[in-house]
């Protein structure tokens, strides 16, 4: 590509030729294609900058809204791999990733480098989901949803299998699928490459952003409190700062 001065390729964190399998034999096909995509880009354009984002969140996204939609829940249960225990994630705001991409264009040190675009903190998946439930006022104490192990929810597993099957004929991007559940089960790898902070990005925290991003999902949210009243949430415990 002789006329291309800078190439920024967006891949994915955890990309691997042999991802650890959990629900799909052979592991996530998505992560395999991301790995081989990186190799293909490097072969054709060695000077490319590769950005590998963790789960990205934002307004009307495919992370926060994914877990709030009805198709991801069943009978007051939110079923996830292993109940969310022992699975760690480093969610990153999509605007932070966008800022990193823009900064990389003019940063000569980013030429030919790979960046792990992770958020500033690592959390257990269960803690993230319970925090999300609290923000939208759908905790079990209010008749909301319990975070459970997907292996104990045969109805939801049947739904996932149906959507996965229909994706071959109808849905190119199904609402739920075993491929998505497979990636839920994988803990985000610890950064081995430079991060967005090395591109000059000041990372944002979920504790500051999620309350507003999820406000549309608040159960009985028409009442927002008296003037000057602000609800205090219990921030999820995090495992470490990056």
**Domain boundaries defined on the chain:** 8-218
> CATH number of the domain at 8-218, please?
3.40.50.720
Whole-angstrom distance, CA of residue 209 vs CA of residue 63 = 13
CB count in 10 Å sphere of residue 112: 12
Rg (the chain; Cα; Å): 19
Q: Sign (positive/negative) of CA torsion 192, 16, 82, 157?
A: positive
Whole-angstrom distance, CA of residue 152 vs CA of residue 80 = 10
Beta-carbon contacts of residue 20 (< 8 Å; ≥ 6 apart): 27, 186
Collapse the DSSP code of 50 into the 3-class scheme (helix H, G, I; strand E, B; otherwise coil) and give the result: strand
Per-residue pLDDT tens, the chain, 242 aa: give them.
567 889 999 999 999 999 999 999 999 999 999 999 999 999 999 999 999 999 999 998 999 999 999 889 988 899 999 999 999 999 999 999 999 999 999 999 999 999 999 999 999 999 999 999 999 998 888 778 899 999 999 999 999 999 888 877 776 678 899 999 999 999 999 999 999 999 999 999 999 999 999 999 987 765 555 555 566 778 888 886 65
| pTM (predicted TM-score) | 0.91
Task: Please tell me the number of Cα atoms within 13 Å of 33 on its side-chain side.
Answer: 5
Residues 204/96, Cβ–Cβ less than 8 Å? yes
Collapse the DSSP code of 163 into the 3-class scheme (helix H, G, I; strand E, B; otherwise coil) and give the result: helix
């Amino acid at each position: 590509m002789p006329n291309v001065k800078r190439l920024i390729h967006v891949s994915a964190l955890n990309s691997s030729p042999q991802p650890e399998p959990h629900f799909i034999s052979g592991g996530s096909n998505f992560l395999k294609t991301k790995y081989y995509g990186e190799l293909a880009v490097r072969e054709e354009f060695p000077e490319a900058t590769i950005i590998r984002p963790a789960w990205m969140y934002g307004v009307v996204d495919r992370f926060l809204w994914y877990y709030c939609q009805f198709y991801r829940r069943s009978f007051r249960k939110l079923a996830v791999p292993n109940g969310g225990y022992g699975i760690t994630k480093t969610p990153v705001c999509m605007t932070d990733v966008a800022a990193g991409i823009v900064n990389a264009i003019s940063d000569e040190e980013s030429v030919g480098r790979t960046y792990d675009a992770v958020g500033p903190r690592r959390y257990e998946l269960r803690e993230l989901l319970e925090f999300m439930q609290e923000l939208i006022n759908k905790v079990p104490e209010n008749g909301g949803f319990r975070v459970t192990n997907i292996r104990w929810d045969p109805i939801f597993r049947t739904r996932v299998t149906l959507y996965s099957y229909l994706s071959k004929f109808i849905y190119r991007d199904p609402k739920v699928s075993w491929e998505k559940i497979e990636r839920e089960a994988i803990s985000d790898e610890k950064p081995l490459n430079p991060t967005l902070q090395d591109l000059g990005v000041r990372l944002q925290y979920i504790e500051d952003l999620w309350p507003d991003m999820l406000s549309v999902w608040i159960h009985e949210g028409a009442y927002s409190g008296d003037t000057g009243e602000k609800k205090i949430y219990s921030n999820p415990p995090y495992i470490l700062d990056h």
